[in-house]
Copies of this chain bind each other. A is one copy, B any other.
């Protein structure tokens, strides 16, 4: 087509080797704008902790609350500054094909390595519509297809996924439907990352997943690195599970937003519709973080938090 961009990310084979990818949290200033100082500190900590890739503006990073220019700015910033040390994967999908094409084109133009592509949530479409939609965006560069029916209300069925997998730019699947589904893919040579932190141990060591696109690694990258790279470790898994459970008591990213505020990694600023966990859950989270060796969480008071209707 008429898309003149020489940048098309990294080879899919390189993508397929990455075990630990963080869906990175976006920290905000009190104005609601992106706090790039805090963001950079978080990225540095991720890289030092052994994280190999970042999803920029994922659901965790609240891409759904960004304007596209802000979203692409953050991808560009990350690629420009950290692109030689970590894979930069932009969550440039959308339920509008036009928006997905536009954002994905821009993402590659500014140096991202790959895109994460969701199926059209909320609006949904037919099987043929899915094929057309993913085809349009995969034509632009390497893509990880993201299946999360608990958000999109529409499962990408395996038959559709195998059809998508024929595209030269298809790198693999971020799959949230569980390890049986993942095993069905990996048995046929389709690369998978689980999107469920609490299932990562089995995904990696039993279902053939290459790794995880993780929320938890925002908080404990080294432990997630160990879990993914150093062989089966049920003890470590069990040690992490309570924290993982806490992170998903309410829809993500509420948990990780609350935790990063308590840790001082991000200011206690929330863009609505997200609001922090209540005081009792915060106290519980501070204790769980201590249990895994993160000692400095402050439960904070309710009025420490800023909730924003506009930003």
Contact = CB atoms under 8 A, between A and B. Distances in A.
A12 interface: no
A116 to B, nearest CB: 14
Contacts of A130: 273
A178 interface: no
Contact of A309 (B98, B251, B278): B98
Contacts of A102: 310
A55 to B, nearest CB: 15
A258 to B, nearest CB: 10
A87 interface: no
Nearest to A127: B250
Nearest to A251: B124
Nearest to A270: B129
Interface string A80-118: 110100000000000111100110001001110000000
B275 A125 contact: yes
A272 B69 contact: no
B136 A254 contact: no
Nearest to A309: B136
Contact of A40 (B6, B59, B77): B6
How many identical subunits does the complex contain?
4
A64 interface: yes
Interface in A258-274: 271-274
A34 interface: yes
A123 B79 CA distance: 25
Contacts of A30: 2
A12 to B, nearest CB: 21
A38 interface: yes
B121 A4 contact: no
Given A33-B2, A72-B72, A129-B272, A310 B122 contact: no
Contact of A122 (B59, B111, B272, B275): B59
A102 B307 CA distance: 16
Interface centre among A76, A95, A101 (most CB of B within 10 A): A76
Contacts of A101: 309-310
B109 A110 contact: no
A151 B151 contact: no
A175 to B, nearest CB: 16
Given A101-B310, A251-B124, A136 B272 contact: yes
Interface of A: 1-7, 29-31, 33-38, 40, 59, 62, 64-65, 68-69, 72-74, 76-77, 79-81, 83, 95-98, 101-102, 106, 109-111, 120-126, 128-130, 132-133, 136, 149-154, 250-251, 254, 271-275, 278, 307-311
